[in-house]
Structure 1
Amino acid sequence: MKYISPLLPFIAGWLLLLLTASFAEISLINGLLQLLLFALVVCLPTWKTGRMSYVDIGWPWGLTVIGIITWLFSDGEPMRVAIVSIAYIFAGSRMGLGAIKLLTSGHLNSELPRYEFQKRRWQKQGKNNIPLAMQIEAILQGVANAAFLAFPAFIIASNPSAEVSPLEVLGIIIWLSAFVMESVADMQKLKFLSTNKQTGKRNSVCNIGLWKYSRHPNYFAEWMVWNGLVIAAIPSWFALLEVESMLTFVLLGLGLLFVSRIMYTTLVTYTGAVPSEFYSVQKRPEYKDYQKTTNMFFPGPVKSPQLIEERE
């Protein structure tokens, strides 16, 4: 049961969509395609190689699948459908192409550190059958795409109203701003690494640009991308009260909120900041000082080393 239990909330989320009047058909199509995608792109390579880094390929392309399905099968107002579909397709394809580049350049020939960390975590939890745990983890990622991560797209694209809500505008602005922030953070990191490679510096700490104010500005921005989608979905969620039962309506609303929680947990503790820093502290001598002066996740002002020493 300890292997299966992490799957249960996501299976419940998918079942909720399947039992709604509004999303049963589109959720069935999406779920089956997600499972097929993850079986071929993640589960089989993981079983063959003993590495689960292929999740980084399957998950973003699964988001692209959500966007395509939303565009093809949703009955909402066409412009609203197009906007949310493009958001998923664009974001998923951007990350997916990056993952394919990692694959073709040989970076996935060894396990990515965050997945090595996950294996350590499983062993501490008494999950000693690592091959089984990896397969369940891969399936979990696929079911997450079939369930909660599809909530914003399906809910927004179900709204037939031509009227645009201020919350929708706010959500899209947050999405765009966060997407730009994530892209800028990634470019700054790549430029930093390239410069260090040219100058022969090794294992230095990236603390330039956005990285000066957060140790993981890319993860924070990714979280805000999803928060933007959740906010944009709120007016369309209210519209569902006319076609869904009160219980279903409430559960869908809780599912929307759960999207933000899922992504925060993932980006901070699960495969994001915490695993990254576990290895960064070991690899980069200056990283402990960076931890003292810079917030881990939420951007904020740089802390004075002198002030920190006085407090200690």
Structure 2
Amino acid sequence: MEWVKAFAQLISSFAWPATIVILVIIFRREIRQRLASLTEVKYPGGSITMKEVEKLEASVKVNQVPLVTTGATDSPAVPYTDSKLAIAQVRIDVERELFRLSWRALGHSEVTHWHTSRHIDELERADVITSHFAQNLRSFIDVANRVIHGVDIPGAVVDKTSSIAGDLLSTLRYKRLVYEAQRDFEGHGIWHMKDRLSESEERHYLMSAVASQLPEFAYDYSIYKDALGLFNARQRSENPAAFGGELPVLSLKEFVESLEWREKELQRLREALPKIKWDKYDEANRWKWPQEWGDLQWSTSILRDRVSIFNAEQDLMQTRAALDRHRLRLRVEDQGTTRRYTA
């Protein structure tokens, strides 16, 4: 108890009660360790209990920087003042994406009853995810379980773990979107009505189909390309004669042109809606293809959901954001090609 006496002598020379707050913050770990068996420490003019020390320590943590998970998730960021809640939340997000990916990629009727580890094992076995990525998922689940079930870890570790979870979520979501888009190639007739067209007409037809289906690819060329790659690989191995075989892959430049036409059509629709009556909405919401693309002999609705100014603006915003990304990517690729030719 020498430490307690020394502490009492030290604090007796300070002004109370303001100084006690500073000292408790500085020495809170020592106080908790040394006074674990005590319920109360008295000082001139008052006393402090162990419960109050713990309450103060928790209060200090409230002002820490909030935890923000990276990647696309359906859940808001949670401050790591409650580390268990933060980790539990991102684990739920990971489990949700694992289920959705299993449902899309494996087509197994019993996925709803699988444990998390079964999802990882089956996805790895089917080569949907790599062994390295599967091990990363298992490691994260293990860390998350230990945190949730009471292991005390520093906030910095919680922050890093949540950041890792964000990266895992981004990868899982990307793969899930690829497999969902692959289903669009398999089941949507729009991709398989081009046999009567010439080669140039076929390219323009496919560009119109991409412009129409961009939301299915999350407005992303890589998702479109990877999904079409999966579809073509399955066509080669399982059903080469169905729907006329494989589908050509548009170049990045052609994909950007499809985005540009979607932007123009959404802008046209956005400007038209305030000027017309509601019974004319469906007509305004039909695609009008560029004349230079020829007679494509098809059209459909631009907006799939309810036709409104808000929905048109929301889609236009996503289309323009995608255009910014893909134009930059196209410039980078063009510069790389130029360097190779001049080297």
Task: Please confirm whether the aligned pair reaches a TM-score higher than 0.5, indicating the same fold.
Answer: no
TM-score when normalising by structure 1: 0.26
TM-score when normalising by structure 2: 0.24
Whichever structure has more helix as a proportion of its residues is: 1
Higher gyration radius (CA):
2
Query: RCO greater where, 1 or 2, for CA within 8 Å and sep 6 or more?
Result: 1
